Amino acid sequence: MVVEDEMFVATEIEYVVEELGYRPVGIAADTASAIKLGPLADIALVDLNLRDGATGRDIGRMLAERHGMTVLFMTANPSQVGEAFPGAVGVLPKPVAEEDLKAAVRYTVALREARQAHAPARLRVFA
């Protein structure tokens, strides 16, 4: 799932995820749409500032708690993410190059599948 209110950015992220062979379940631009898509996804790529305000962190936590989702934050304001919580992988600073996004998605999938993986250089991994 892509949680992003800028549709151009969201569709680009979906495209990259599809290029890696995964099937995005949709784009959520706010809390209500994230709640609706939540049961369908295993991984969420989450921006902090969305259509309904700075709700991304709370959405990420809710998705992890309610649905056991693995959460990767993507934001231009990485310091605003705050502390880690169970299910949160880390923060990928925006703007992000396609190869960095691919590496971060691969890493997130590997963690979800309990496989050994090395974190990409640009990804700030939560301890």
- 29 — pLDDT class (breaks 50, 70, 90): very high
Helix axes 98-112, 7-19, angle to 10 degrees: 60
Domains of the chain (ranges, CATH numbers): 2-125 (3.40.50.2300)
- Could you count the other beta carbons within 10 Å of the beta carbon of residue 32? 11
Please give the order of strands across the beta sheet that includes 43-46: 27-28, 2-3, 43-46, 70-75, 88-93, 124-125
Nearest to 88 by CA among 49, 62, 106, 54: 62
Percent of the chain residues topping a pLDDT of 90: 99
Predicted structure pTM score: 0.96
Residue 127's pLDDT is 76
